[in-house]
Amino acid sequence: MDLMKGKKGLIFGVSNTHGIAYGIAKEIYEAGGEIAFTYANEAMEKRVRPIAESFGAKIIMECDVTKEEDVKKVFDECEKVYGKLDFVVHAVAFANKEDLTGRFIDTTKAGWDLALGISAYSLVTVCKYAENVMNEGGSIFAMTYLGSILSVPGYNVMGVAKAALESSMRFLSVDLGKKGVRVNCLSAGPVKTLAAMGIGGFSKMLKAAVARAPLGRNVALEDVGKAGLFLASDLSSGMTGEVIYADCGCHSAYASAEEMDILSNNLEL
């Protein structure tokens, strides 16, 4: 498969071989794409470097997405090595654990600023420095989740951050569209990743997704990877400003028949 042959791009957020960013990178690489990788800090380098090297990466750089100078350095290096880029994947998100548990009303101002800064504003920074390094017809997309539009127990401030991410994506799609660059979001269903396991009640989220999804199962890492490949490739050439769902249809269903029976039996109307 040579769908991405000759295509060069950059992925922010790969941290291990079990994460969504890795699943996307794998599909792009196997389709012939060349990928540059970043890691957040020295501690993460030992995880990311072996992965990047296994994909033959020419660029493996430290980058704190909250620091504009770091992001600029990465794109400067990409321009030096590749000339122009065809795709950029933003798979970066973080919130303090205490701001993902308990009541949302207890979210601290510091926790709010941290979650939205890393998880949402960083996409603005990435697009700002990607703009002049992207080929016409290029694609930028960010990872999101259903908690952006629905309240999900245990997701709290991250849901607000993902809502801000999606809204930012729409405005960015207008700015970069003038240069022929697409900006989208990919909303994945719950996948068993190391990052996801840090969300309180995640096992219940997995079960609820199975109960609600029209396909009757959870989305697999490979499913999300293929959706990412689609967005990175020319197959999605006419799509921008969109949230694409890869969640086995979970977002489209109010409740399964079984859930409706349980709810109706436990409520007096």
State the burial class of residue 106 (Cβ atoms within 10 Å of its Cβ: 0-12, 13-18, 19+): exposed
Please say if 245 is a catalytic residue: no
- Residues 177-190: pLDDT tens digits? 999 999 999 999 88
Percentage of residues of the chain with pLDDT beyond 70: 88
Domain boundary assignment for the chain: 8-266
Q: How far apart are CA 54 and CA 203, in angstroms?
A: 31
Q: What is the DSSP string of 170-237?
A: HHHHHHHHTTT-EEEEEEE-----TTGGGSTTHHHHHHHHHHH-TTSSPPPHHHHHHHHHHHHSGGGT
Is the alpha carbon torsion for 56, 37, 40, 79 positive or negative?
Answer: positive
Q: What angle do CA 117, 119, 7 make, to 5 degrees?
A: 120
Evaluate if residue 5 carries a pLDDT over 50.
yes
Q: Average per-residue pLDDT in the chain?
A: 91
Nearest Cα to Cα of residue 125 among 179, 172, 82: 172
Residues 6+ apart with CB under 8 A from 97: 198
Domain 8-266: give its CATH superfamily: NAD(P)-binding Rossmann-like Domain (3.40.50.720)
H or E stretch covering 75: helix 68-82
Q: How far apart are CA 144 and CA 128, in angstroms?
A: 20
Distances (CA, A) of 109 to 41, 150, 216: 25, 22, 39
**In which residue are the tokens 């990175």 written?**
232
pLDDT at 212 (0 to 100): 78
Among 29-38, 81-90, 211-220, which stretch is predicted with the lowest mean pLDDT? 211-220
- Residues 17-58: pLDDT tens digits? 999 999 999 999 999 999 999 999 999 999 999 999 999 999
- Residues 93-123: pLDDT tens digits? 999 999 998 899 999 999 999 999 999 999 9
Please say if 121 is a catalytic residue: no
Choose, from 29, 39, 129, 155, the residue flagged as catalytic.
155
- Residues 237-268: pLDDT tens digits? 999 999 999 998 888 776 666 665 665 566 55
pTM for this prediction: 0.91
Choose, from 39, 82, 129, 145, the residue flagged as catalytic.
145
- Residues 161-213: pLDDT tens digits? 999 999 999 999 999 999 999 999 999 988 765 555 555 555 666 677 777 78
